[in-house]
Amino acid sequence: AQSVTQPDIHITVSEGASLELRCNYSYGATPYLFWYVQSPGQGLQLLLKYFSGDTLVQGIKGFEAEFKRSQSSFNLRKPSVHWSDAAEYFCAVGPGGYQKVTFGIGTKLQVIP
């Protein structure tokens, strides 16, 4: 069965510092991989996605993620964090249909001045 692990439940970074959020997955074939962001009191918004091609994908808001098949990872990165990036971030994995997409438990990002 597929699964997603986000090992960091909570991360605190200083504004302007770099960020890396970890995501490891378990899936039998090449999966669809996603990162979503959830601001307080709101639903999730898609940051980026990957299925094939270049293993470094660019998303919205200056985020990028790198797919590493050998490590079963899809870590999210940002070179310089802004206070507005404080939110919860969810990694997700699955095949084509949403009824089979599995979300991770989320990583809450706190940004300090």
Residues 6+ apart with CB under 8 A from 98: none
Q: 9 vs 56, which CB is nearer to another protein? A: 9
CB of 104 to another protein, least distance (A): 6
* Torsion sign over Cα 42, 12, 103, 96: positive
Q: 43 vs 113, which CB is nearer to another protein? A: 43
Residue 70, SS3? helix
Q: How far apart are CA 73 and CA 93, in angstroms?
A: 11
Q: 69 vs 98, which CB is nearer to another protein? A: 98
CB of 102 to another protein, least distance (A): 8
CB of 28 to another protein, least distance (A): 16
CB of 17 to another protein, least distance (A): 26
Q: 98 vs 113, which CB is nearer to another protein? A: 98
Site for another protein, rule CB under 8 A: 9, 32, 34, 36, 41-46, 49, 51, 90, 94-99, 101, 103-106
Q: How far apart are CA 26 and CA 78, in angstroms?
A: 24
Torsion angle of C-alpha atoms 15, 8, 42, 92, degrees rounded to 10 = 120
